[in-house]
Structure formats: C-alpha cells, structure tokens
Amino acid sequence: MLEIIALIYLCRKIGALAEQKGQKRGLWQFYTVLTWFVAEIIGIFLSALLFQTDELVALLPLAYGFAIGSYFLLKSILSKKPDAVETSFEFEQEKQ
C-alpha cells in the first residue's frame, strides 16, 4: 500500500517536471510507472540469485532500491532536457 502512495507522489513530481520542460505529462508518468515495475522485477530476480532464498520479504529491499533508482534515473534524463520556451508579448521583449 505504501508503494502505491509513493508511486502516485513520484508520478505527480515527474509530471510537474515534464510540464516545466514542455513535455507531455501523462507520457512521463507512464514511463515512471513502467520503469518502476520493471526495475522492481529485475531487483527481485537479482536478489533471488544473490541471496538464494525464496522468501519474498528478504528480496524486497533490493527490489525497492532498484525501483527508487529507476525513478531517479528517469528524473535525471528529464532534467537534462531544455526548459519550455515561454512566449511573451512583443512589448515585453522590447523593455529587456
């Protein structure tokens, strides 16, 4: 349940950043959810291989680490994009 709340919060943050960059908000939120679950599954498989256990509780910390890491990776990719150009009136440009 806490994972869903965290994912909703992170999707809102990515969506706001996407709008600032002039990108589509919904597309980047979809990317956030997709990369979160893919990274979490990769983390579960990797931790199962490393720790040789079948208990899901022991596998989850590494999986959540991968999921959070995927968010920060996606955020850094979006942060490197240029900001959206703000259009202004001609008389505002003359004063500057």
Instruction: For residue range 38-81, list pLDDT tens digits in order.
Output: 999 999 999 999 988 888 888 899 999 999 999 999 999 999 99
Contact in structure between 4 and 36 (CB atoms under 8 Å): no
Any long-range contacts for 30-33 (C-beta under 8 Å, 24+ apart)? 31/74, 32/7, 32/71, 32/74, 33/7
Answer yes or no: are the C-beta atoms of 60 and 41 closer than 8 Å: no
Is the pLDDT score of 90 beyond 70? no
Q: What is the mean pLDDT of the chain?
A: 89
Residue with more model confidence, 83 or 71 = 71
Q: Is residue 91 very low, low, confident or very high in pLDDT (cuts 50, 70, 90)?
A: low
**pLDDT tens string 6-27:** 999 999 999 999 999 999 999 9
Encoded amino acid at 11, one letter: C
